[in-house]
Structure 1
Amino acid sequence: MFRVFIYVFLFISFLDASIIKKVEVFESTDRSLSVEDIKESKKFKRTKLPFIRASSNIFFLRVTFDKSKLDDELYSVELDTEFNNISVEKDIKYLDIYKNKVLDQSLDSFTETIYIKLNNIDDYVNFNIFVSESNDYAFKQILLSKFFGVAYGIVFAAFLYYIAFFIFNREKTYIYYALTQLSMLGILLFLSYREIENDRFYMDIIFFSFYLFSNLFTKSFLNTKVNTPIIDKILTYSIFLYTLDMLSGWIFNFYFMADMMPLSTLLIVYLIAGYVVYNQGYKPALFYLISWSIMVFSFLFIEFQFYFTTQELFIKPNYIIHVIAPLESLILAFALSYKMKILEEEKLQQQEFLTHQSKLASMGEMIGNIAHQWRQPLTHLSYIMMNLKTAFERDKLTSEYFDKKSIEAKNQLEFMSHTIDDFRDFFKVSKEKELFSLKIAIDEVINLLSASLNSYEIEVKFTYEKDIEIKSLRGELLQVIFNILNNAKDEFIRKDTSNPIINIHLYKEKKNIFIEISDNAGGIKNEILQKVFEPYFTTKDKGLGIGLYMSKMIIEKNIAGKLDVSNIEEGALFSIKIPNK
């Protein structure tokens, strides 16, 4: 297909060279002149195609064809320009068009001489004529439409894809990238299909949107506020300058930026930012750097053609833009995908860190509860030692008395050893699901905390309709119940609650099992109720704020249940819902 495309262009070029007999130009500063005014002028001078000038004047072209070189076919005469408004005189009819104009003519009606007025609205003229058989021209247009369609499809697909990512992830980078692609699609359509004479307003809006969203994308993707503060300020100020430049153009018809500097100079700061951030070790910046390098150097190439070329354009700007736009979309998609991978890895590392912190916090709570559990047996052991010492000093230490106290001491030590075993087994993490009794498991948690709760005179009421067996992660579920009970205890202590009571209710409804834990500590303030499960949020003076966060993660991620909190009349209610599979 690509070879056919090349052959068609070679054929067209050959045909053009043979059929165009001569091209003459008439230059004037009087923009009011029409073709009728200059048709008989003797000031026409011979010139060549393509006709290229950097000038603010208007130009009239007189093109003469060699009709004898034509066969008896239908021909398309394509008048091609990049920037100028054209008026065509053919059979005393004027046709005002923008960019390309095609005149279809048969051999009998083929006009040997046509007059063309170039209104030159951009102070730059680039004009050419192509003559081809209508079938060849139509074939070329079909190829171009398919090529353009692929470009539009890629850019629009990138827009939709990352809009969806933003909706489900709420990451600002995705919405900025999506809107950048939408603006780029607007640029492509604008360059291909604009047919109105005074379109500077629309061009300003489209290019400003592209620069605004690409700027915000750069700031967000590279985190310039942290990584490159100076460049971040430059990017911010450049948006304000661009806005002022646009307003200046609309109000005073003077663009101090757009008309005085190439667009590529505004985008070079993106390359600098990408290079700096990449050197700081942020690998996705490499893809960003590659994509914007292609974009910037393509613009430089286009501008180089306009400012320094006096021959035919190497490649039409419209074709270049339609190639680099989808290419940039694809490369930036790699950059965003790489960033997503890094964010996922960071999220996993953060999760592991929080899990580790949660374990350390739980160990601290465990040691505190072991201390409460050991306080009574240690006191008993102290009394045994004192009794033995007193009996020995008074010469009343008999073997029977010594054996009796030894058995008492042994019992206390065994109780302390069992306490250690209970806590060790309780905090043993196992990812294997096991079948267990919820009633026995909850009793185990209550027993582990009993000494600590009793020391603060906290009463625990556990009610259930019947015992329920469940196959799940036993250790992790017990850790959640432990965290909730421990938080209730801390809240009682912090608020100095009188007659503190914790109610635990176990029941089953249809396909779900519920464990509801409530207290009478006065509840949670409404303004912070929705924050209690956020990481590092705590109301405790020395709390880490990860206990309830990890509890919610365990229930909802590992056990596939639901953990909610609400206020009731006397306090707070934590509800654990577990699917009964």
Structure 2
Amino acid sequence: MKKSIFLILIFINTLSGIDITIPKISIFKEIDMSKEINSITQAINMPNSFKTERAFTRILRRNESNDNLWLRIQLVNDSDSPINKIWLTRWERSHFELYLVDENKKILSKDIIDSNDFLKQSSIITIPKKSKRTLYIQVKAKKGLDQFNYMYFVDAHLAKQFLLDTERLYHHGLFFGILLSMTLYSLFTFFIVKEKAYLYLGLYQAWVVIATSDAWQYFYRLLENVPTIAHILLNDLYAYSMMVFSIIFTKAFLNTKEKMPRIDTFLNLSIILSLPLDLMRGPVYYGAFGEIILIVIGFYAAYKGNIASLIYAFGFLGFVSYYALVNLSRLLGWDFYLEFTNAKQIFTCIEGFIFSLAIYLKLKEIMKEKILAQEISFKYEKMILEQSRFAAMGEMIAAIAHQWRQPLNHLNLIFNNILLADKSNKLTSKYLEKKSLEAEGQLQFMSTTIDDFTNFFAIKQKKETFTLKEACQYSINLLDSRIKKERVEVAVRTVYDMQYTNYKNELIQTLTIILNNSLDAFLSVNESKKRVTITILKNKLSIEDNAGGIKEDILLKIFDPYFSTKSKKFGTGLGLYMAKKIVQDLIRGSIYAENTTKGCKFIIQFHNE
């Protein structure tokens, strides 16, 4: 019923002016306008200079000069009592002169509104009972800097409540709080997860927060004395920046560079072409139609299997579609109206929520991929560890064989001596006891060798307290037979030694791998004085040889799994990789290699826990 009465009143208004008996009247359907008048006298005496414009809000929002624009509004009071009204508008960066004229063309009052406030309101306008008044409004606005949002006539006693009802959702908390929270959420999330889509979304939302809040007014006030520059920076480049941020957000979110390279190239061209398109815009902003392409790309990516991009497309669907519809209505002259500021605020809030949801789903997919990659990596490392263990067992057997060769020869000699003494009848109990003790000594040495290697290769992973010198000497003892066979001089130089609590056995394994690596290197060089020097420093030790060094182009690869400078017959490519894994993951240190003048130096750095 109320709707019907309201429509009837609107129809009457179009015939005989505005019925101001209604407490709150929105002026958006039509208004009398003129740009050919220079004074209030001309406005009163030249009524034909005014032209009735339907959906005049579309005209006011064009990037045209609204300087010396005149508006005429007929006010009708058919009630039996006078009515007090206040004219209210959110028409930013504009100044006004209001003239109230009676039926006899007499100026009753003049009201000058010359403030920088985003909300403008007149003094009280009194309309006597059963009478008409004409309100003439002269608008003074610098080219392209004013921004019209709405215009109302409100009962004087309701003006304060009207401002609260109209502006509080955004300027007093709700919309501003939502948009600002989502902007900060996007930026903080970027710093945590390093996902670029969050950064670009945060920048896009930051522009939206500035543009749809009164913060934008401060920029205009700073540049109000240079209107041309202000127009370029705050109107044209602002819209272009919004377009760029939405494009680069699309590129990052949909990963177009890898998954859709042709579309990525198209988007890159769009960033370049959008600038002249934006600078040339007139009443219609054609860039608004270009943004619909982002929605199409989102649906296309969803068709290709990217489910999160479907939500992304719906995120752009609201505001972009509305903005395109607004510009299409301007292009075709449709009578389309929806409060632009409110729509902008509501749609951008919904848009922010949907984009955050879309990125969340994308991150969820990324986390699934990372977990899967970690599982594959874990299986791969497990396989390498098993292969390394087999390789270590082979090295242990080879080392035992090296260590046992001399005592076995000695035992063979002892048995031959006993046999020869027996055949020559010289085998006495004293001689037999002597040889038995010799054999027992050799067997004890062999048993000790097995114990040493068994202890060394046992998986203890238990921290012990020791000195670096002890660990180095133990490693040398394990390789003693090979060191002597290769005639390599191994020296330990202690500059600073102290007690460490760490994984001793694993450190010995690392040192043994590096020493073996140096001994292998000597096989391919002709060096008369083969030398390995182990230097113990504070929280560091180095193993340096004079075996010629490593080629610079492969120096950084020696710690990679399955990389070996030896032939496939003798090298598995796992030794130095395992040494690095032990030092980094277990001992909590670092290991690296560098060439010296005569050879190579391995440095193990122990980090303080």
Classify 1:425/1:233 alpha carbon distance in 2 versus 1 (closer, same or farther; 3 Å).
farther
What is the rounded CA distance, in whole Å, between the counterparts of 1:16 and 1:415 in structure 2? 116
Sequence identity of aligned pairs in percent? 21
For the pair 1:360 / 2:387, whether they are aligned, the reply is yes
The AA in structure 2 aligned to 1:317 is: K
2:161 aligns to what? Answer: 136
Q: 1:270 aligns with which of 292, 298, 301?
A: 298
Say which of 548, 571, 579 aligns to 2:599: 571
1:129 and 1:364 map into 2 onto residues whose CA distance is 85
Confirm or deny: 8 A CA contact 1:76 1:137 kept in the other structure.
no
Distance 2:523 2:78 in 1: 107
> Hey, what does 1:459 align to over in structure 2?
489
Q: What's the TM-score once normalised by structure 2's chain length? A: 0.66
Summarize deviations over 1:70-120 as a string: whole Å, max 9, x none. Answer: 998884512579xxx98866338998999x96331232579852458899x
After superposition, the Cα gap between the structure-2 partners of 1:264 and 1:48, relative to the gap in structure 1 and judged at 3 Å, is closer
Instruction: For residue 206 of structure 1, report the CA deviation from its aligned partner.
Output: 0.6
Q: Aligned partners of 1:274 and 1:416: how far apart in 2? A: 70
Output the CA distance in 2 between the equivalents of 1:317 and 1:201: 18
Asked if 1:205 is matched to 2:240, the reply is yes
Match of 1:516 in 2: 542
1:263 to 1:336, Cα distance in 2 relative to 1, 3 A? same
Say whether residues 1:435 and 2:465 are aligned partners.
yes
Instruction: Choose the corresponding residue for 1:449, options 468, 476, 479.
Output: 479
Secondary structure of the residue aligned to 1:214 is helix
- Tell me, what secondary structure is at the counterpart of 1:41? helix
Structure 1, unaligned runs of 5 or more: 1-13, 279-285
CA distance 1:74–1:527, change in 2 (3 Å)? farther
Alignment deviations for residues 535-566 of structure 1 (CA, whole Å, 9 cap, x no partner) = 77766665776654554454344333444545
- CA drift at 1:338: 6.2
Q: Distance in 2 between matches of 1:136 and 1:385?
A: 113
Change (3 A) 1:353 1:183: same
Give CA deviations for 1:512-532 in whole Å, capped at 9, x if unaligned.
Answer: x43332222344566776676
Say whether the 8 Å CA contact 1:24–1:61 is kept in structure 2: no
The match for 2:223 is: none
Where does 1:534-549 land on structure 2 (aligned, <5 Å)?
547-548=575-576
Counterpart in the other structure of 1:3: none
1:40 has 2:52 as partner:
no
Q: Which residue among 261, 266, 269 is the counterpart of 1:240? A: 269
Partner residue, 2:88:
77
Deviation at 1:316, TM superposition (A): 1.1
The one-letter code of the counterpart of 1:313 is L
CA-CA distance at 1:21 after TM superposition: 9.8
Q: Are 1:21 and 1:66, in contact at CA under 8 Å, matched by a contact in 2?
A: no
1:560 lines up with 2:588 in the alignment: yes
1:295–1:436 CA distance, 2 compared to 1 (3 A): same
Taking the aligned partners of 1:128 and 1:94, their CA distance within structure 2 comes to 19
Amino acid at match of 1:515: L
SS in 2 for 1:460: strand
Map of 1:149 onto structure 2:
176
Summarize the Cα distance change of 1:216–1:534 in structure 2 as closer, same or farther, 3 Å threshold. farther
Distance 1:76 1:536 in 2: 82
Cα distance in 1 between the residues matched to 2:400 and 2:381: 28
Structure 1 pair 210/15, CA: closer, same or farther in 2 (3 Å)?
Answer: farther
**2:205 and 2:497 mapped to 1: Cα distance?**
64
Secondary structure in structure 2 of the residue aligned to 1:106: coil
Query: Is the 2:31–2:53 Cα contact (8 Å) retained in structure 1?
Result: yes
Structure 2 residue corresponding to 1:294, chosen from 315, 318, 325: 315
Are residue 346 (structure 1) and residue 379 (structure 2) matched? no
Residue 26 of structure 1 and its aligned partner are, at CA, apart by: 5.3
Which structure has the larger Rg over C-alpha atoms? 2
> Aligned pair count?
529
State how far apart, in whole Å, the 2-side matches of 1:253 and 1:143 are: 32
**Structure 1 residue 107 corresponds to structure 2 residue 117:** no
Assess, with a 3 A threshold, how the Cα gap between structure 1 residues 259 and 305 changes in structure 2: closer, same or farther.
closer
Whether contact under 8 Å (1:248, 1:255) holds in the other structure is: no
Q: Secondary structure at 1:499's aligned position in 2? A: coil
Q: Cα offset for 1:209?
A: 2.8
Q: Is the 8 A contact 1:77 1:130 kept in 2?
A: yes
- Asked if the contact 2:391–2:572 (Cα under 8 Å) also holds between the matched residues in 1, the reply is no
Change (3 A) 1:406 1:237: farther
Deviation of 1:425 (Å): 3.5
Question: How far is the alpha carbon of 1:150 from its aligned partner?
Answer: 1.9
Which residue pairs with 1:481 in the alignment? 511
Tell me the distance in 1 between the aligned counterparts of 2:181 and 2:276. Answer: 33
Answer yes or no: is the 8 Å Cα contact 1:264–1:300 preserved in 2.
yes
1:177 aligns with 2:198: yes
Aligned equivalents of 1:253 and 1:469: distance in 2?
77
Q: 1:90 aligns with which of 86, 90, 98?
A: 98
SS class of match (2:535):
strand
CA contact (8 A) 1:523 1:570 kept: yes
C-alpha distance in structure 2 between counterparts of 1:208 and 1:48, whole Å: 27
Q: 2:90 touches 2:148 (CA, 8 Å); kept in 1? A: no
Q: Once the two structures are superposed, what CA deviation does each residue of 1:257-294 show, in whole Å capped at 9, x if it has no partner?
A: 9448341322432343356354xxxxxxx556534532
Q: Report the alpha carbon displacement of residue 157 of structure 1 after superposing the two structures with TM.
A: 1.9
Which residue does the alignment assign to 2:338? 313
Shift of 1:235: 1.6
SS at match of 2:191: helix
1:503 pairs with one of 528, 533, 548: 533
| Structure 1 position 19, deviation (Å) | 5.0
Paired with 2:77 and 2:283, the residues of 1 have a C-alpha distance of 47
Q: Tell me the distance in 1 between the aligned counterparts of 2:573 and 2:554.
A: 13
Spell out, residue by residue over 1:283-336, the C-alpha distance to the aligned partner (whole angstroms, 9 max, x if none).
xxx556534532345533553566478454286133311342255246525644
SS in 1 for 2:48: coil
- Letter paired with 2:478: L
Question: What is the deviation of 1:472?
Answer: 1.8
Query: Equivalents in 1 of 2:275, 2:248: separation in Å?
Result: 16
Per the alignment, do residues 51 and 384 of structure 1 end up closer, same or farther by CA in structure 2, a change over 3 Å counting? closer
Partner of residue 253 from structure 2, selected from 208, 211, 218 = 218
User: What is the deviation of 1:455?
Assistant: 4.3
Alignment of 1:160-199 (within 5 A): 160-162=187-189, 164-165=191-192, 174-175=195-196, 177-192=198-213, 193=216, 197=231, 199=234
Note the C-alpha offset of 1:15. 9.1
Structure 2 residue aligned with 1:283: none
CA RMSD of aligned residues (A): 5.6
Corresponding residue of 1:64: 74
Deviations 1:439-458 (A, max 9, x none): 44333322333344444333
Check conservation: 2:61, 2:283, Cα contact below 8 A. Answer: no
**Contact 1:563 1:574 (8 Å CA) reproduced:** yes
